[in-house]
Structure 1
Amino acid sequence: MLNSDIYLKESLYDLLSLWRTPAFFLPAMLFPLVFYVFFGIVFNFSAAQGEYMLVSYACFGMMGPALFNYATAVASDRAQGWLTLKRISPMPLSAYVVAKFFSSLVFAACIALMLFITAALFADVQLLLWQWATLFTVLLIGTLPFALIGLLMGLCLSDKAAPAVVNLVYLPMAFLSGLWVPIQFLPDTVRYIAYGLPSYHYSQLAHAVIGTNQGHNLWLHGLYLVAFCGVLIAVIYWRYQRLSR
């Protein structure tokens, strides 16, 4: 079997396993949509607010599948011995990692499309075609740092602790980055904390597509995320080597 076939089959099987777990995908897909309906539509006082909240809640929603799919699934596979079995099998372990990222991207794409359609139909959000396409692309690519965070958690946490710890990281990180409340309305102390969070830089790149970012140099946001991913990959490699001994 060609390597590409292995990656494809593993990705499809992982996606199927998530699809058979509604406790995972229903909250992940509906939570950001419900938030947007309330704060982007029901309590929407201007078209600009609808656009701003669309980007913020899209970032918030699309971070979730990457974090949870890796953290909870990898921790569970470690506890049940599946990760060890995959490690000693002929299948490249990278196929396992790529498959989970593929599944996360599929669900993240569904979240984005649901929010886009809702915003266009009910919040009077009107973007140019290139803005919709660019925003969608930035949102998808930007989930990589959160997938790496989830992978590191999965390699470090037990299967019982992983869901709780992910929530303890995910929800405060979203709030402190200005994804629930616009960053300019938060205290100065919180803003300084936000500068060190990947979710803040992720959201600023997405907001830049529609011109609602804070005006900082986009290269700084991009370089931060690249450096953040590089550090996480190094730590993940170190942790994996420790587990392999």
Structure 2
Amino acid sequence: MNLVYLRLEILRIVRSPQFALFTIAVPLGMFLLFGGLFGDYVGPDGVRASTTTMVNMGAYGALSGALFTGTRVATERTDGWQRQLRLTPMRAPNYVLVKIASAMAMALPVVLVIFVAGWLRGVDMTGSQWALTAVSLWLGALPFAVLGLLLGLFGKGDTVGAMTGALMLPLGVFGGLWMPLSIMPGWMTTVAHFFPTYWLGRVGTNPVTHTGGMGLAVGVLAAWLVVPALVVIRRFRLDTAKVS
């Protein structure tokens, strides 16, 4: 992996106002809102809603940071930057790895910001639960980094942002991240199982709820990782063939 290009990519993201607004401010604001609304509610698993809301908003922020890579990829394709990179010694797989690594690098600080806000608001977890939950959410965001890359490779610079925003709504609502599924209609729980965000939330809350099913959750997220990755590889090969 080209570490110099990775460092420049991360610096470019951090300096983007859209990153601070949509990737950090939105999930943080939603945590403060929903945490205040449902904080005293205790779910069927015996965990206060303020805790699960913090984890779910951490998951939402992590996947937002990961998906954000799609807009940059689409812009680079539209501006011809990818074509210029192919004229350099850097190979296409290296480019893909840098984009995924930068997306993952952006997902972690979002989780940490949400968790600091949760700690300040009195969310009570053990040290191991804080650590396991943060790591689980961060690693669980990997499929969304690849999904963001996929959107960027198929979309255009002026449309991928809108596509990502439109995708974030159903991922958050129907995946059960915005509100506890236990207070929603029963059909919502059934629908949620078809969204990767539901399984990301399961992976994140398991260190606290101890509800089990981690193997299934990890397996579903792995499938959401592998299938888009195969499409990304094929798309890159086709683009490279066009240039050659």
Cα distance in 2, alignment partners of residues 134 and 171 from structure 1:
27
2:53 pairs with 1:53: yes
3-state SS of 1:160 partner: coil
- Opposite residue 119 of structure 2, the aligned amino acid is A
Contact 1:29–1:107 (8 Å) recurs in 2: no
2:31 pairs with 1:36: yes
Q: Which residue of 2 aligns with 1:192?
A: 190
Residues 228 and 107 of structure 1: CA distance in aligned 2, closer, same or farther (over 3 Å): closer
2:130 pairs with 1:132: yes
Cα distance in 2, alignment partners of residues 81 and 126 from structure 1:
49
- Opposite residue 229 of structure 1, the aligned amino acid is L
- Opposite residue 243 of structure 1, the aligned amino acid is D
Q: Which residue of 1 aligns with 2:21?
A: 26
Q: Which residue of the other structure, out of 233, 237, 241, is the alignment partner of 2:233?
A: 237
2:57 pairs with 1:62: no
Indicate the larger mover: 40-49 or 144-153: 40-49
Q: Which residue of 1 aligns with 2:84?
A: 85
Q: CA deviation at 1:162?
A: 0.4
- Opposite residue 14 of structure 2, the aligned amino acid is W
Contact 1:25–1:107 (8 Å) recurs in 2: no
Q: Which residue of 2 aligns with 1:157?
A: 155
2:220 pairs with 1:218: no
3-state SS of 1:45 partner: coil
Indicate the larger mover: 41-50 or 80-89: 41-50
Q: How many residues align?
A: 236
- 1:104-183 correspondence runs (5 A): 104-122=103-121, 124-183=122-181
Q: CA deviation at 1:164?
A: 0.6
3-state SS of 2:176 partner: coil
Contact 2:54–2:115 (8 Å) recurs in 1: yes
Q: CA deviation at 1:43?
A: 5.4
- 1:68-79 correspondence runs (5 A): 68-69=68-69, 71-79=70-78
Which ranges of structure 1 fall in alignment gaps of 5 or more residues?
none
Cα distance in 1, alignment partners of residues 155 and 212 from structure 2:
36
The TM-score normalised by the length of structure 2 is 0.90
3-state SS of 2:39 partner: coil
2:207 pairs with 1:209: yes
Residues 216 and 133 of structure 1: CA distance in aligned 2, closer, same or farther (over 3 Å): closer
Residues 86 and 224 of structure 1: CA distance in aligned 2, closer, same or farther (over 3 Å): same
3-state SS of 2:60 partner: helix
Q: CA deviation at 1:44?
A: 2.5
| CA deviation vs aligned residue, 1:155-214 (integer Å, no higher than 9, x gap) | 1111111011111111111110110111223333332222121111111111111117xx
- Opposite residue 126 of structure 2, the aligned amino acid is L
Indicate the larger mover: 86-95 or 47-56: 86-95
3-state SS of 2:4 partner: helix
Residues 110 and 93 of structure 1: CA distance in aligned 2, closer, same or farther (over 3 Å): same
The TM-score normalised by the length of structure 1 is 0.89
- Opposite residue 13 of structure 1, the aligned amino acid is L
Two-structure CA RMSD over aligned residues (Å): 1.8
3-state SS of 1:103 partner: helix
3-state SS of 1:159 partner: coil
- Opposite residue 224 of structure 1, the aligned amino acid is V
Indicate the larger mover: 128-137 or 183-192: 183-192
Percent of counterpart pairs with the same letter? 28
Contact 2:73–2:152 (8 Å) recurs in 1: yes
| CA deviation vs aligned residue, 1:69-95 (integer Å, no higher than 9, x gap) | 2x1011111111111221232013333
- Opposite residue 103 of structure 1, the aligned amino acid is S
